Amino acid sequence: MVETENTSPPSVPPAEVEEVELYHATSFWTKYVFSQDAKIIAIQYSGVAIAIGFVALVLSSLIRLQLGFPEMFDFITPETYYQFVTMHGMIMVVYLLTALFLGGFGNYLIPLMIGARDMSFPYVNMLSFWIYFLAVLVLVGSFFVPGGPTGAGWTLYPPQAILSGTPGGKGLGIILMLVSLALFIVGFTMGGLNYVVTVLQGRTRGMTMMRLPLTVWGIFTATVLALLAFPALLVATVMMLFDRLLETSFFMPSLVEFGDQLSYGGGSPILFQHLFWFFGHPEVYIVALPAFGIVSDLISTHARKNIFGYRMMVWAIVGIGALSFIVWAHHMYVSGMHPYFGFFFATTTLIIAVPTALKVYNWILTLWNGNIHLNTPMLFSLGFIVTFLNGGLTGLFLGNVIVDIPLSDTMFVVAHFHMVMGVAPILVVFGAIYHWFPKISGRMLHEGLGKIHFWVTFVGSYLIFFPMHYIGLVGVPRRYPELGDAAFIPDSVATLNSFISLAAFTVGVAQILFLYNVFWSLRKGRPSGSNPWRATTLEWQTPHTPPAHGNFGPELPLVYRWPYDYSVPGAAEDFLAQNDPGSLDSGSST
């Protein structure tokens, strides 16, 4: 730290606009149910997302029951198995992770971290949640209709998705799925516009884009991706609904089904794949970028060290976001595309490894020589880095056409994406909950329970997914309810499958521990004070914990510095908060 002559206090630019009048709720209903306060909406979003996530967790246990112990459970038929697989995938990716990261963490953290009183459009924000809730209700409703939910796989590929051979294909299952997705997109767009406008136009004085915490950068970029990628899914759902309900032939070629010539003809199933993956690949980064951002803040705070290469981290997030729009067809190598396209998409896919690796190196260099506190948020962050790295490495296999083709549709793919976009973001979700729970509730989560939760989840995930790579490499296909007798499948696969299932049940049960911890700590947790982690970002500097309506009391905070001034020499504590002008005699930091 360079000692500089600095006699005048640092200044921030003057306010450009007057503050916006806040909506003040008066009744219980407008305060807590139809709330326009982003913090309440965030908790509503998170609650619904985690609740439906637990449904998906139970579904995954049912999948593992079948795979680990085939023919033992009469209630799992091939049809129900496909339904479990489909709903598990769709819920986890869209209704849990997307909603939780953007609707949950986005709503809670964006206004607090950028120094705003609320989102730009609180009313639209409220609508966003309620439409999301409706989407979840429609989704849950599909479990109870005749024929049950759709069993088309989470990718919903036509033609099979709307044919009678697929569970829910001729019933209501697929219709409700598509309607629910369309509702989700409408609701998300309302929230997404809020997040983007709030970050771009609603920051407090002194808060420049390059002083935003990386969490906000991650959520912001992910929201931009979502606003541009979800249109493809919306169009695909609308077109498939028409194919199903009006018997148009957008995606449907001429077909003979059970000996009957269907009325479809001339459509292109490949078109659906393109539309789906034009959404589906950015979706991976919609989930991953907020995780990147959050983990950067967690590591920096709990290692008491500034983030290494902040600007690089920002541009890596933006770069990954941009690249994610030109890699989608690497999910379609076996669709019969021209080899030159395969070449193009393999190249762009591997280029993404550059900014991603850059981020991993920067996290490691942030930890390097840091004062690492091995508490629960830090453990989950470390777990994320390792898991993301492992999942990314298998991505190199699958990104190359020639290696991908034999591995396509095997359990190797399942293991890969569960590592990289299942386990890794979920670890960040847990880390983030342990980190921000004190701000949301005013109480600490129980540290001992947290550590048990971490180790069981982390080690358990590896016991589940490492053997799965091997199962995939020997050629076991995915989405098969049971394998039967096949010459190429060794006996060890059955043993491993049982082992994986046992590990999966253990991890599943450990999540109940987490729920217990949350509910126990809400009542009996140790009071946290306003800034238990001695963190620098604005959400920890609020006058009230949990933050009151309007977040910051009468005056909005002024921002003087970036969010990573940890271990500052000469500072009264070892950190300088973003709204701390800094003591004049101790040297200024930029």
**Cβ neighbours of 275 (radius 10 Å):** 22
The whole-angstrom separation of Cα 398 and Cα 406 is 10
Name the β-bridge partners of 443: 527
Residue nearer to other proteins on the CB measure, 83 or 237: 237
Residue nearer to other proteins on the CB measure, 78 or 265: 265
Minimum distance, C-beta of residue 18 to other proteins, in the bound complex (Å): 5
Q: Where are the alpha helices (DSSP H) in 306-410?
A: 310-323, 339-367, 376-399, 401-407
Residue nearer to other proteins on the CB measure, 141 or 231: 231
Residue 352 structure tokens: 């993404």
Which residues sit at the interface with other proteins, rule CB under 8 A? 12-21, 23, 120-124, 189, 192-194, 196-197, 200-211, 227-228, 230-232, 234-235, 238-239, 242, 246-250, 263, 265-268, 271, 274-275, 278, 559
What single string gives the DSSP state of each residue in 264-288? --S--HHHHHHHHHHHHHHHHHHHH
Minimum distance, C-beta of residue 559 to other proteins, in the bound complex (Å): 7
Minimum distance, C-beta of residue 216 to other proteins, in the bound complex (Å): 13
Minimum distance, C-beta of residue 250 to other proteins, in the bound complex (Å): 6
Residue nearer to other proteins on the CB measure, 234 or 411: 234
Contact (CB, 8 A) for 135 and 237: no
The whole-angstrom separation of Cα 434 and Cα 380 is 9
Residue nearer to other proteins on the CB measure, 145 or 235: 235
Residue 4 structure tokens: 């500089």
End-to-end CA distance of the chain: 10
Residue nearer to other proteins on the CB measure, 38 or 496: 38
How many CA atoms, within 13 angstroms, populate the side-chain half-sphere of residue 334? 9
Minimum distance, C-beta of residue 562 to other proteins, in the bound complex (Å): 12
Judged by phi (left if over 0) then psi (alpha if -120 to 50, else beta), residue 69 lies in beta
Residue nearer to other proteins on the CB measure, 201 or 590: 201
Residue nearer to other proteins on the CB measure, 194 or 394: 194
Minimum distance, C-beta of residue 235 to other proteins, in the bound complex (Å): 5
Minimum distance, C-beta of residue 124 to other proteins, in the bound complex (Å): 8
| Torsion angle defined by CA atoms of residues 341, 346, 347 and 353, in that order, rounded to the nearest 10 degrees | 150
Residue type at 333 in one-letter notation: Y
Minimum distance, C-beta of residue 271 to other proteins, in the bound complex (Å): 5
Residue type at 528 in one-letter notation: S
The whole-angstrom separation of Cα 558 and Cα 321 is 30
Quick one: which of 111, 120, 262, 136 has its CA closest to 187? 136
